[in-house]
Amino acid sequence: MLHAESESSVREFLLSVKWAIQKSDRGARGWIFSTATQKNIDTVTELEMTLEDVKREILSLSVIDYCSGPLIDPAIKGEVWIFGKHIRGKEVYIKLKLWGDERDQEVRILSFHIAEAPLSYYFKHQSHIGRLENREIRK
């Protein structure tokens, strides 16, 4: 499994994700939730979430939620990043992709489903975890 070179590269990716999503609050198309997989739909239904709840969960991601990436997306040119989060008592697998150029990016939430196996959080158990938790990205 490939991992980002540093926590700063994960932080930079999350900042781009959050910036793109928040564009949608200003009327731009900033994010897309994939309904192509039934697992995504089933998870949102099981956890009694709305798309606004999904958006809030993505906006609240931090470096400690990082699992792997960037990974080459075999389906569509570009990279995907994997995160995990405990939501309403379930571990949720989250796969994100930034699409477009730097000025006009959108986030594609390719996966948002209950994890099929326990996830490994790359930065969660490192000695500098306290500093990571205090530097969550807020935009």
Helix (H) or strand (E) holding 71: strand 66-72
Q: What is the distance between the alpha carbons of residues 139 and 18, in angstroms, rounded to a whole number?
A: 7
Which sequence spans correspond to the domains of the chain? 7-131
132 pLDDT band, cuts 50/70/90, is: very low
Instruction: Provide the pLDDT for residue 73.
Output: 86
Percentage of the chain exceeding pLDDT 70: 81
pLDDT mean over 43-54: 95
Q: What's the pLDDT band for 130 if we cut at 50, 70, 90?
A: very low
Q: Measured between alpha carbons, how far is 25 from 28 in angstroms, rounded to an integer? A: 7
Q: Phi and psi for 71 in degrees, rounded to 5? A: -115, 145
State which fold the 7-131 domain adopts: YaeB-like fold (3.30.2310)
Distance CA 82, CA 88 (A): 19
The residue length of the chain stands at 139
d(CA 18, CA 20): 5
DSSP state of 76: S
60 confidence band (pLDDT: 50, 70, 90): very high
92 contacts: CB under 8 Å, gap ≥ 6: 43, 47, 57, 84, 85, 86, 112, 113, 114, 115
pLDDT confidence of 78, banded at 50, 70, 90?
confident
- The answer, yes or no, to whether residue 131 has pLDDT greater than 70, is no
At 29 the pLDDT is 67
